[in-house]
Structure 1
């Protein structure tokens, strides 16, 4: 099962470093130590961008390991900076709250930010970074989980930790097939490339999302990004759960990558007004498009319910898509959304399905969005559409 988060708390964020010493701001203006710490973080940011390990080491407390710096060595960074948002000092020790901003070259069109907490110490008249970790409640970054291996595809950038290069190349191949398939269905008004993060385990995925691992068991991948984001937004990240993804066959893996790539493509037209049955159903529709799979093959849980006389009374609501809920209910929600989109494509045409999706996302709030799009694009009402969907379920699965 694939999934999506509407607004990423797992964000990485990038801001262009305009000069070597640009990027840190904030702090307590009356304490000269705050300004000194900002300078240290500016030097640290410049060292990361310049791949200058001695300069990076010089910003850290003597003897502090530089594992994190080395883990980053393969990541194609275009920008890296810190902005101090809070500063607390006690003698020769201090804590700085900061916003890390960075940008992956060729993929991020705008900054992705990550909240950080840095512990600092003063010795020999200088401030040094003793530790740099996610702020409380913030997500980890991939390189904090180990050395990052990078594989570039024709339409993809795959970054993994604890994964063999051959395995990451397989992800790139699947993503490279997914991108043109999505463009053929949706159109080309999107970036046309994807960033895929592959941690070592389910726990690593949860760390990147800043969420408990228990909520993502059995979820093969999620896509993080801002709903309704424009062209200047940072690239979405497709984050893979290698534990669940690894048990899928070749077909299932392709469906997952195509599904998640669809979320990337449709992001700018996905808003708070878009119900999950539509966003997830559309992503599944693209994922299975041209596969030749029957409704019963793709929707076994819903077929079981229909055969047993439990025909859904309404389209799935957003609560039905909760990852930590009942697995059968979750499966039926995805299947119901997919069948709704499949019905629209079959009855009104694939172009109308795309137009319907865009029309719903064009609203700034949920109320009235689906109703207006049903009327304006499909010429029907919510009541008639729901009954047509229920009849479609009977015909396809009964």
Structure 2
């Protein structure tokens, strides 16, 4: 009997080849991109568990990136990805609530694994100090000073020492609860400061420092005193003391400050704290307003919010700050320091008229008249 010949297995091979061809020509399964996105998110989570080595000298804690979106190149089987995320972190011992910033992360796939290759501010987001270069650290008793690229260790130590003097001065003026410590950022230049705060450099030209942070009574925000290195360097010892005490007082009163707090009261209280106990004569500390009063230009009302704007007439802004200080100085002298503190607290919770009546027993018109009379007497 002849052996039975089996036909060659052509059909299964054809079917196999046809299936592979169709798979190659048709769309790739969605699972490939989904898997890659999960791997990217996992890679960011793994990478963010440790603070980057260049920032090791900064006491950072609760460092975490929360990825909001992932964009893969091509069809998801490529080698690059872009992730947007929110970075949350605190400065240990200083921040009672995290600071948040929008970030953009680049990742590359090497050897089958994703790796973060770049971390930068998201488009339109403000940078962190370390985005501008190496950061130096100086620690005081009540202060933490972070210096941007180019700042010397000696300068940072001097600012830390001044901040250490400003904290007790602010606490003496403001008996309300606050952390009793402050973070000071010292960018490498005025332009670097402007980029850090997202405003034109001319906004801060001539200023010694500003304070950042949200007002309100919720969880304490991550306040920062930001020094203008050019403006601060041009001040003498007394000017530096006043500037830092003023800004630290803003940090101290932050939780009691709200959208209802008049700017004249906020700025005037900070200046009152800075000058409190000093023997500086009003005409000497308020030269712009003194000149105006001597020329018969007595202000018709307490400084308005728009009067404090920088970038316009610097003399007008100076008169606003000086007038606010003298208003708070008058309140402390005539009604007492406790009344001034109580007014500040109430003005953050209720309309100014009711706050004035409850603490001073006068209305806005009465306070304005008393303030104008004090200007005539002290600045003539």
Q: Which has the larger radius of gyration?
A: 2
Equivalent residue in structure 1 for 2:120, among 124, 130, 133: 133
Partner of 2:64: 81
The aligned runs of 1:58-77 (5 Å cut-off) are 69-77=52-60
Partner Cα distance (1:290, 1:157) in 2: 26
Equivalent residue in structure 2 for 1:189, among 177, 181, 196: 177
Q: TM-score, normalised by structure 2?
A: 0.87
Q: Structure 1 residue 318 and structure 2 residue 301: aligned?
A: no
Partner Cα distance (2:38, 2:73) in 1: 15
Equivalent residue in structure 2 for 1:382, among 364, 370, 379: 364
CA displacement at 1:104 relative to structure 2: 1.0
Tell me the secondary structure at the aligned position of residue 214 of structure 2: coil
Partner Cα distance (1:97, 1:279) in 2: 37
CA displacement at 1:89 relative to structure 2: 2.4
Partner of 2:43: 40
The aligned runs of 1:196-211 (5 Å cut-off) are 196-211=184-199
Kept after mapping to 1: 8 A contact 2:327/2:371: yes
CA displacement at 1:70 relative to structure 2: 4.5
- Cα RMSD over matched residues? 1.7
Partner Cα distance (1:111, 1:30) in 2: 33
Partner of 2:202: 214
Kept after mapping to 2: 8 A contact 1:71/1:146: no
Unpaired runs of 5+ residues, structure 2, are: 1-30
Kept after mapping to 2: 8 A contact 1:45/1:82: yes
Partner of 1:345: 332
Partner of 2:102: 115
Query: CA offsets per residue over residues 181-209 of structure 1, 9 Å max, x none?
Result: 11111115110100111111111211221
Pick closer, same or farther for the CA change 1:29–1:203 going to 2, 3 Å. Answer: farther
Q: TM-score, normalised by structure 1?
A: 0.83
The aligned runs of 1:171-320 (5 Å cut-off) are 171-187=159-175, 189-230=177-218, 232-320=219-307
State the structure with bigger RCO (CA 8 A, min sep 6), 1 or 2. Answer: 1
Kept after mapping to 2: 8 A contact 1:299/1:335: yes
Unpaired runs of 5+ residues, structure 1, are: 1-27, 49-68, 364-368
CA displacement at 1:123 relative to structure 2: 3.9
Partner of 1:15: none
CA displacement at 1:250 relative to structure 2: 0.3
Tell me the secondary structure at the aligned position of residue 299 of structure 2: coil
CA displacement at 1:128 relative to structure 2: 2.8
Tell me the secondary structure at the aligned position of residue 37 of structure 1: helix
Kept after mapping to 1: 8 A contact 2:220/2:255: no
